[in-house]
Amino acid sequence: MVRQYLEDIKVHEKRRSSAYLLTSDDVAEYERRWGPHLFHRVSGQAERGGQIISNAQVVSISSHLMNSLKPEPAIEAGIGFDEMRFRAPARVGDTLAFECQVVSKRESKSDPRVGIVRAACRLFNQRNEDVLTYVGIAVVTRRTVGSVSREKV
């Protein structure tokens, strides 16, 4: 498995996931597992573009697509989301994709084995409309600490 360590990450680097078709089966499975979000089953949704999915499922899809990026970032932990906004509804039948652009990175002040990366993230639909935007903050492993390389450990 190829991993992208802190040293490999470039500020302004942009990455995009493959597409994800949101189906009624996906919504049914999510609701079966996590409970129905009845407020999204409003009369007349079909006439206004189709069934809207819950924001919790939108975040889950965003996370799934982020985790599918290759090479896989050497993330030790996600430590937060800033400026999270739901911009447009996601609907059954939408094709969604995830994109992120690194806005900053730095070495950790308290742990020389890791660094902190901030990335502007967006989940968008087939019309290139933002569905979800946020700044993700993650702890990322460094390839080398002192003279020891993680690739040789």
Architecture of domain 3-21+55-152: Roll (3.10)
* Percent of the residues in the chain that have a pLDDT greater than 90, as a whole number: 71
Q: Does pLDDT of 50 surpass 80?
A: no
Whole-angstrom distance, CA of residue 97 vs CA of residue 6: 24
Which residue's structure tokens are 């911009």? Answer: 87
Cβ atoms of 59 and 132 within 8 Å: the answer is yes
Provide the phi-psi class of 122: left if phi over 0, else alpha when psi is between -120 and 50, else beta.
Answer: beta
- Given this model, what pLDDT does residue 38 score? 57
- Given this model, what pLDDT does residue 152 score? 45
Question: If you average pLDDT over residues 26-41, what whole number do you get?
Answer: 76
pTM for this structure? 0.86
- Domain residues of the chain, as ranges? 3-21+55-152
- Given this model, what pLDDT does residue 47 score? 53
- Given this model, what pLDDT does residue 147 score? 52
The torsion angles phi and psi of 80, rounded to 5 degrees, stand at: 165, 170
Cβ atoms of 68 and 97 within 8 Å: the answer is no
